[in-house]
Structure 1
Amino acid sequence: MELSSSNLLTVLTLASGSERNFEQQNAEGQLKKWEVSPGYHYLLQEIYLKTEVPLQIRWLAIICFKNGIDKYWRSSRQYAISKDEKVQIRARVFYLLHEQNNQLTVQNAHSVSKIARFDFPSEWPTLFDDIAKHLDEFVFKSNDHISTNNLLIILNRIIKNVSMVRIGRARHAMQSKAPIIVTILIKLYQKFFSNWTQNLDLSSMELCYLCLKNLRRIIPEGFEQPHKNQDVSEFLGTTVDHLQLLINEHDKYSSDLLERYVKCYSKLYVTIINNNPTSFVLLPSSQKILTTFLSLLEQRAEYIYNSSEENDFWEILALKGFIILKKIMAYIYRKGAITLKQRNDKVEVNHAINKLTTDFFTADLIQRLCDLVINWYLRLKPSDLEGWLLEPEEWVNEELSTSWEYQIRPCAENFYQDIIRYFSDSLTDFIINKISNGLVQNDSVDRILMKDAILCTFQLSSSTISNNVNFDNLLHEVFIPEGIKNDLVENKILKRRICLIIGEWVSVQCSRESRVDIYKLLLNFLQPSNPINDKVVKIASIQTLRSVVDDWDFNKHDFQPFLNEFVRLLLNLLNEMKLTESKLYIFNTLAVLIERCNPLVDYQTLIDILVIIPKYWESSSVSNEPIIKNSLLRVLKSLTISLNENSPETHSISIPLISSCCSESSDLHSLLSEDGFDLWLALLKYCPQSQLGNEQIMKLFELIPNGLMNSTEILPTILSILRSYSLYAPELFSNKTSLELFAVLAGYLPKMRDDVFSIFVSLLDILLLENSSNESFINNFLTSGLFNAMVNYVFDESQSIVLCTKIYLVLSRLAKSSPEVFFKILEIASIDVNKFFKIWLEYYNNNGNPRNKKVNLMALLALVSYGIPKNISVALEISAEVVKRTFFFLEEINENNDGSCDAYNSDFTYEDIDDYAYLDPDIKPHGERIRYRQLLEKMDPVYKTNLKEFLKETMIQLKTQLSGSDFDQLMSLNDTYTLDRLQALS
């Protein structure tokens, strides 16, 4: 069908039908074909501009038009809209200003703003001039509210889109036009504000809000220094007066729209502060703005405290007030530190800071703010107590997950932490006195709530006042006695607070003896027999227990007497808690506890934890809760590690879960595969020698190729699993699967991150130690392209020399084991051998330890010994240098007769085999460590070959195989030092 206006209208009519049928599908297909045809988008615009066309057809036309702008407006796109068609479209973008359907207006605004984003200023330099012309007309045409409304909606979208541009001329060009637009918007704003406040005219109120919304965007984005523009500066002064008017007359003008006004003013101030705090402070109205929000926080404190409404208007304003004050305090504290785009000179910054510190943030005001926060905003509200009583789990979980920017008490806590940090000199003594004098008797709920608020300041001040208080004394004299009181049900409020204090202070200041008393206190809080220990107290105790156990200074031997009791209580609590989040805290705490107390958790306790995992995995209540399954996998991993040689106890559970989570065809893969791979790695590492050859574990290997190719975000874990298999079942690397794996690794190698590279090197080091004489393995190694990739890596001058030496280290294993095969591989792979050996010798001294140097030297000597009799020229060329470096090395180290020495027993290629866990004498070596040690002892020539004797044998072999003249020629290549050493050697 030919594209024309009438044909397009017909097809749009069919496509917009309410019933799904064959004709509608054909129409949609035709629209899809036409969208790449010249003139299509111009005709779409023509149709939606016609008000006589039915609304549903215009709606579909504008949606197709908007989507087409996204896809085809950029000139670099295939089937891009032509330049001429763009000109025609831009010429009509303001034709729809009289549109009465708001949804069409919004869609049109999206389309126009997209065009502006692409074309302004290069193709559409008059954009803001055109808008200013229309707006200027509306200043004097008060009755054309529809056109005014529509243009303001379009302008808002344009400003939003253009201000997002960070590269190019668009943002700067908008800033050059901003004064024109802002001047007109301010006139419109003042006109409409006067109308609606005097006459309560809803239409004027809506238009005024749209003006404000535009100004809220363009002032911060269009002016780098708003305080230097008179119109902007005067307007911001006006907004404060209007804000105060609307706050004072809130009940008179009460409406959602009015509340949006007030929020818009506060957003304007916050954005200016974010963009340029210096400019904000230097505004004549800045102190008035700060005073307004401070007064709001003080005057509405009691109302906000007693309010139980969500998204309460006054609470939202209070949040903005705290955020504004918080940002201004940070500005003072950081001495006016500014971003690159803010070009305030030092004089202005100093003037702004001086203005704040002398005129606003006085010592009296800072203490007043502290009192205000403590008395009203840190206290638990009546609605909090009601939530605690009726739905304790829901309440505490919300407390633990709430973002401080959206809830008043968390925001106040965050604000308090800033004020005590920024003004510590003037507040430390004030707060300590407040704490000392405020711990009154628990004879009423109000007193308990006030005490809780005061203790909250102690919790939040840990990093600031720790040098001025003795936490251990307070723990024994105040917190523990307070925690064991059971005379009032309301004491649970203080029990929770004590948990929060301990969780905050234990990593800052807490003695080893005090930690033992904390364990006893937490056990008390978790006892089911005490009715005051409700769910909130127990969840707080669980969270605190995790913090204490996971702390750097945790001593597992001190904790051991309490260990089994804590585990028993945690397992019992799983039955008591109903919500997923609550169970999650328990599982996460169990996982940390098992890990940090390894190996002190006794066998039966570990088995008791293990047996609950299938129940909660399969439980219908959590079958659709992957977050619980993630946590269960982490617990299972910790159990596997702690059981160590008994880890096969977990296999019947672990192996099916690994198979399910790590298989790409599984529904669980996307959410659980990362923890599944971690569990798989632990299972392999801690698998004892008795379980070598387990068919189920071997079968899991089939999942590796997909994981290696598609789970690149956890590539270190996948490669570690491969490395574990290289020790667990090296025969798996001689089949077709290994060919696929090596090909993938060859592709990754050029751009490997350092953490992945170290695992890759240790994997290849192990495999080449085991398989250098395995023909199938060598064929896979070469055919996959991995050998060539490794050689190309060392040839690439942009790669790190240290990393290149590790490649040579790995290749040394193959060269030492089979020099004949090595030279053949170099020949088959068409490697430039002269360049290869030149770089090898050049990089040799960058090896970081004696062990690696010996591996290199033995390989080079083996290649020389084989290559010279075979007339391989490069072997002869490098021989003198190799022998000389061997003698240098022998002077550095002192091998025993077997060829070993202490210097070879550290800095293994498998770097993390000696991680921190093995520094703990309580922890037995895991299966993988045993396997690696056995491999080195059995197959690594570093420990079995005396290098001096190896060199001697090499020279004897060469003398035997070469004629007298050839050997003399070989000797003539050596310098005097080497010849003397060779003479001594014989």
Structure 2
Amino acid sequence: MDLNLDNLATVLTTASGKQRGAEQQAAEAQLKQWETVPGYHFLLQSVYLNTDHPLQIRWLAIICLKNGVDRYWRSTRVHAISKEEKAEIRKHFFDSLEESNDQLTIQNAHAIARVCRLDFPAEWSTVFEEIAAVLDTATTNIVKVHNMLLITNLVLKALASVRIGRARAALQNKVSVLVPHLVRLYHGFFNHWTADGNFDAASMEVGYLCLKNLRRAVVDGYEYPHRDSLVVEFYEVSLQHLQKLLLLHESSQLPLLERYIKAYVKLYANLVSDNVVAFVLMPNSYEIFMTMLSLLESKASDIYNSEENEFWEQLAIKMILVLKRLTAFGFKKGAVMLKQRNDQQEVAAAAKAATERFFPPQLVQSLVDLLITWYLKLRPADVVSWTLEPEEWVNEELQVSWEYQIRPCAENYFQDLAVCFKPQLSEFILRKIESTLADSSVDILTKDAVLAVFQLSASAISENCNFDQLFRSYFLPEALKDAPVENKLVKRRVCLIVSEWLSIQCSKETRLEVYRLVLRFLQNTDINDKVVRLTAVQTLQHLVDDWEFRKRDFQPFVSETVALVLELLRNLEFTESKIFVLKVLSLILERTNPLVPEKELLDVMAIVPAMWDESNNANEMIIKNSLMRLLRDLTGALNSNSSKAHPIVLPLIALCCDDKSDMYTLLCEDGLELWEAVVKHLPTAEPAPVELLRLFPLSVKALMNWTEILPTVLKLARSYGILNYQLYETETGLEIFKILGGYLNSMRDDAVYVTSSLLETLFLQVPDPSRSQLVANLAESGLFFEMVKYLTRESQTPNCEIKMALPLLRLLHAGPVHLLGMLGTVSDSSLAVQLAQLVDSVVNLLKLVYDAKIRKIFVLALLALYAPPIFTQYCAQDPSVDLEYQLLNSESQTGINLVLSKNFNRVMFLVTHMLEEVNENADGDCEAYHRPSSYDDDDLTLIEDQPDENEYAQEFKLPPSAEQLRFNELVFKLDPVHRVSTKQLLKYQMDQLAGIDGYQQLISSVDRETLEQLQMMMNK
């Protein structure tokens, strides 16, 4: 079907029909086909602009146009709309401003805003002039003004989202064209609907749209709004209007009236957030500030007794956020400002005003009183929710964002006040707490609020009070009272106080008392209250995760704690609270390892199957993630007994890490972490389960699909390599090597380290590289080529290149002839050239190595190059001829000999220096080779048989994992670092070299000092 206006209207009519059928599907397909035909989008606009068409057709036309702007407006898109068509569309955007249907106007406005975002200022620089012209001439046509203001609002919103680039600067340059018209219209309509007291809805709506546009224009359209006289005048008038509407609101709570009041507060809040200096320097900023304070005070009772998120609460949150921003600005003396970095005088003046004028000491104390009296208190509705829905109430307390609810917002701001005005408030807060708590007539909610003050002001008053003494003399007795049910508030608050204070001031003795108290609350003997118990778990989380936590101090409480947390978990109903308790339980297992008795660990494991089966619906599936993490930490805590978890964990790993599973996307990441823990802690005394070995091929998909956690997947692959290196002689091993070869050049440092460690552990176990299928897989996969290229490239990250050199050097030491054969196949260059680049890179990297163990690996590999049958002849070359020319134009063996002879002096220098720094025993081992270094992996460190001289000093030392034990055995059994004497090897190599032709010429290339050191070592 040809594209023309009539055909398009017909197809749109069919496509917009209510009955789905073949005709409608064909019409939709035709519209899709026309999307790339020139002129289609202009015709869509023409259909929309024609008011003779039915509403549904025009609606579909403007929706298709809006979507077409998204897909084809950019000139870089395939089938992009032509410049000529775009120009015609822009020309007619404002042709239907008398549209009576708001929804059609809004869709058109969205299309215009998106075009502005893409074309302003380059292709549509006159948009603001066009808008201003319409607003200037359409004053008497209220529908036209209304629709233009809707469009303008979305245009300003779209351009305000641009933070850098030409559009931002152009907006600030052009907005002054628009603002006078907006201010004029705002005054006209505001005066009209407020004059007669009838609250004309149409005038109110248009005036409100003017206010919304001005809010965006003032905040985002001016770099220095306080310097523009029209903006300053508008700000002064806006406060007068706000105060007028507040009085009107006392007698009439019209929704549109409340929207006006919210808009004024947003105007001030947005400017404070975006440009606090401009706000403070506005002539009436102090009056605005005091108006907000007055509202917070006068409406405090209404807010406290209202339902959540009602009108005044929303305003109070905005106003507290304004105070918070001003407080921080004054406290930091303007240091947070970036925009005014070239206007330091203004910044300093604003900071001084914020500190001295806005927040004098008396006002700050009054503000604290206000917060304590009303905004920090639990509402009666909170107590009702606590009683009726305790789990849900706690979940909201744990997850709520302080920017959206009044009490959390007030708590957050109170902490700011306590920090920023510490000298003025410290004594005041302490006196306030002391006087209120000493008054026995104080109601429980006020008492809880005062205790909240003590909790929130911890950092401010810690220097002037002794928490340990207060805990024993006041908080502990209060928490243990068998008082009425209301005392549950005190129990909860004491838990929160401990959570806040323990990182600031809390002795070992107090911690022990806290452990007992938390257990008392978890035991559920005093009061059957889930809120108290869940808050006790929250405190337990802070205690266990604290820097000063000592697991040996906690040991007497471990068994009972785990048992009680499990009991609580069984009684929970909500997904959020279950996830929270599972998280804390995992933390306990991790932080107290290895002190949790096996019985409790098995009890923890026993809850998993039932919880897994219960969490099959969509809302509870996320519990499975927490269960996987719990099993991960449980496996680590079981350690040598981890096989007892295999009946549960192995099927779950197979279920979660198979890309064909329905749970793959949601659970694979946690499944990989659990899988790694299982292999890592697989008991050494037991053979690897067949089921675990069968899982190995799944690691290929994990490497391909989970690159964001690549180090985790690589550690899993390494664990399998330590467990059974022959797995890498299979097709799966070949695939893994291919993937690693593709990743190597773009790997992050941590992934490079684990890849190197994986390959090192594999090559250590290869008895003969020339007969190893694993080494053959390395060459066939291309990984060997990528490793050589990585090592011989221009140095970018020396630490990574040193680390990646280690597996190659181990191969070189184990089979130098075979490695040279592999090296000759990695590029079109001659073997001699390849060897020259490799030796040069190794020698240069060795100069940067300070770890004795790593230096020895380098040295052993370099010495291997001078062993027969590699260096069997020496052909003297003309030293005047360029080395590269000689390499490229000589036979392979001659070229190799030339490379080695040219580097002989450098190698001998490095060998002698290395031997000077260590004192090897007869077997080639020494103490320096056992020290941990920056190149060691925390998971794979050598285990030394050293007694614990100070048991307490070993607080954080975990028992070795089974993988560490296997690695330990592997290293001491096979690693030449601990088994080959460097000095004996050097003597042997030199004896072998002495029998070749040209030996004297070779020795003569060594400088005198190095030669003397070499001869001295040879004679020892």
Give TM-score scaled by structure 1 length: 0.96
Task: Determine the structure 1 residue equivalent to 2:845.
Answer: 843
Counterpart of 2:985 in structure 1: which amino acid? Answer: F
Deviations 1:688-732 (A, max 9, x none): 113333211111111111111111111111111011111012111
SS at match of 1:912: coil
Task: Determine the structure 2 residue equivalent to 1:239.
Answer: 238
Task: Determine the structure 1 residue equivalent to 2:329.
Answer: 331
Distance in 2, matches of 1:574 and 1:370, equals 39
Is 1:215–2:214 an aligned residue pair?
A: yes
Question: Which structure 1 residue ranges, 5 or more long, are not aligned?
Answer: none
Counterpart of 1:84 in structure 2: which amino acid? Answer: E
Is 1:941–2:976 an aligned residue pair?
A: yes
| Superposed counterparts of 1:82-97, under 5 Å | 82-97=82-97
Counterpart of 2:61 in structure 1: which amino acid? Answer: A
| Superposed counterparts of 1:784-803, under 5 Å | 784-797=781-794, 799-803=796-800
Q: Is the 8 A contact 1:3 1:40 kept in 2?
A: yes
1:577–1:916: structure 2 CA closer, same or farther, 3 Å change rule?
A: farther
| Superposed counterparts of 1:689-838, under 5 Å | 689-771=684-766, 773=769, 774-797=771-794, 799-830=796-827, 832-838=834-840
Among 354, 357, 361, the alignment partner of 2:355 is 357
Counterpart of 2:921 in structure 1: which amino acid? Answer: N
Q: Is the 8 A contact 1:276 1:338 kept in 2?
A: no
Task: Determine the structure 2 residue equivalent to 1:12.
Answer: 12
Task: Determine the structure 2 residue equivalent to 1:928.
Answer: 963
Per-residue deviation, 1:210: 0.7
Task: Determine the structure 2 residue equivalent to 1:477.
Answer: 473
1:22–1:623: structure 2 CA closer, same or farther, 3 Å change rule?
A: closer
Task: Determine the structure 2 residue equivalent to 1:262.
Answer: 261
Q: Is the 8 A contact 2:524 2:533 kept in 1?
A: no
1:854–1:301: structure 2 CA closer, same or farther, 3 Å change rule?
A: same
Task: Determine the structure 2 residue equivalent to 1:601.
Answer: 596
Task: Determine the structure 2 residue equivalent to 1:912.
Answer: 938
Counterpart of 2:901 in structure 1: which amino acid? Answer: L
Distance in 2, matches of 1:946 and 1:619, equals 61
Distance in 1, matches of 2:524 and 2:350, equals 58
Task: Determine the structure 1 residue equivalent to 2:512.
Answer: 516
SS at match of 1:792: helix
Q: Is the 8 A contact 1:591 1:634 kept in 2?
A: yes
Among 848, 851, 854, the alignment partner of 1:852 is 854
Q: Is the 8 A contact 2:149 2:213 kept in 1?
A: yes
SS at match of 1:690: coil
SS at match of 1:828: coil
Per-residue deviation, 1:354: 2.7
Counterpart of 1:882 in structure 2: which amino acid? Answer: V
Task: Determine the structure 1 residue equivalent to 2:605.
Answer: 610
Distance in 1, matches of 2:211 and 2:599, equals 68
SS at match of 1:689: coil
Per-residue deviation, 1:669: 2.0
1:915–1:890: structure 2 CA closer, same or farther, 3 Å change rule?
A: closer
Counterpart of 2:358 in structure 1: which amino acid? Answer: F
Task: Determine the structure 2 residue equivalent to 1:645.
Answer: 640
Task: Determine the structure 2 residue equivalent to 1:273.
Answer: 272
SS at match of 2:671: helix
Task: Determine the structure 2 residue equivalent to 1:968.
Answer: 1000
Distance in 1, matches of 2:693 and 2:420, equals 59
Give the ranges of 4+ consecutive aligned residues of structure 1 lying more than 6 Å apart after TM superposition: 915-918
| Superposed counterparts of 1:366-381, under 5 Å | 366-381=364-379
1:30–1:748: structure 2 CA closer, same or farther, 3 Å change rule?
A: same
Is 1:432–2:467 an aligned residue pair?
A: no
Per-residue deviation, 1:798: 5.1
Identity over aligned residues, as a percent? 46
Q: Is the 8 A contact 2:930 2:942 kept in 1?
A: no
Q: Is the 8 A contact 2:550 2:955 kept in 1?
A: no
| Superposed counterparts of 1:128-147, under 5 Å | 128-139=128-139, 141=140, 144-147=141-144
Distance in 2, matches of 1:589 and 1:165, equals 42
Counterpart of 2:497 in structure 1: which amino acid? Answer: I
Per-residue deviation, 1:979: 3.7
Task: Determine the structure 1 residue equivalent to 2:48.
Answer: 48
Distance in 1, matches of 2:576 and 2:37, equals 54
Is 1:104–2:104 an aligned residue pair?
A: yes
Is 1:888–2:913 an aligned residue pair?
A: yes
Distance in 1, matches of 2:462 and 2:940, equals 37
Task: Determine the structure 1 residue equivalent to 2:161.
Answer: 164
Is 1:654–2:679 an aligned residue pair?
A: no
Q: Is the 8 A contact 1:420 1:464 kept in 2?
A: yes
Among 401, 404, 413, the alignment partner of 2:402 is 404
Give TM-score scaled by structure 2 length: 0.93
Q: Is the 8 A contact 2:375 2:407 kept in 1?
A: yes
Among 305, 308, 311, the alignment partner of 1:310 is 308
Task: Determine the structure 2 residue equivalent to 1:503.
Answer: 499
Q: Is the 8 A contact 1:716 1:756 kept in 2?
A: yes
Counterpart of 2:451 in structure 1: which amino acid? Answer: L
Counterpart of 1:326 in structure 2: which amino acid? Answer: K
Task: Determine the structure 1 residue equivalent to 2:558.
Answer: 563
Task: Determine the structure 1 residue equivalent to 2:951.
Answer: none
Counterpart of 1:746 in structure 2: which amino acid? Answer: G
Per-residue deviation, 1:875: 2.6
Distance in 2, matches of 1:442 and 1:718, equals 61
1:117–1:621: structure 2 CA closer, same or farther, 3 Å change rule?
A: closer
Of 904-913 and 469-478, deviating more is: 904-913
Per-residue deviation, 1:507: 1.3
SS at match of 1:97: coil
Distance in 1, matches of 2:530 and 2:340, equals 51
Distance in 2, matches of 1:546 and 1:850, equals 42
Task: Determine the structure 2 residue equivalent to 1:628.
Answer: 623
Task: Determine the structure 1 residue equivalent to 2:24.
Answer: 24
1:167–1:530: structure 2 CA closer, same or farther, 3 Å change rule?
A: closer
SS at match of 2:794: coil
Distance in 1, matches of 2:336 and 2:942, equals 42
Per-residue deviation, 1:530: 2.2
Distance in 1, matches of 2:1004 and 2:191, equals 105
Task: Determine the structure 1 residue equivalent to 2:390.
Answer: 392
Q: Is the 8 A contact 2:942 2:968 kept in 1?
A: no
Q: Is the 8 A contact 1:895 1:901 kept in 2?
A: yes
SS at match of 2:402: coil
Per-residue deviation, 1:366: 0.2
Task: Determine the structure 2 residue equivalent to 1:681.
Answer: 676
Task: Determine the structure 2 residue equivalent to 1:876.
Answer: 901
Counterpart of 1:511 in structure 2: which amino acid? Answer: S
Counterpart of 2:505 in structure 1: which amino acid? Answer: Q
Distance in 2, matches of 1:478 and 1:359, equals 39
Among 521, 528, 531, the alignment partner of 1:525 is 521
Task: Determine the structure 2 residue equivalent to 1:468.
Answer: 464
Counterpart of 1:770 in structure 2: which amino acid? Answer: Q
Q: Is the 8 A contact 2:555 2:595 kept in 1?
A: yes
Q: Is the 8 A contact 2:496 2:535 kept in 1?
A: yes
Distance in 2, matches of 1:289 and 1:521, equals 48
Q: Is the 8 A contact 1:105 1:150 kept in 2?
A: yes
Task: Determine the structure 1 residue equivalent to 2:879.
Answer: none
Is 1:148–2:148 an aligned residue pair?
A: no
Per-residue deviation, 1:916: 13
Per-residue deviation, 1:681: 1.2
SS at match of 1:284: coil
Aligned-residue CA RMSD (Å): 1.8
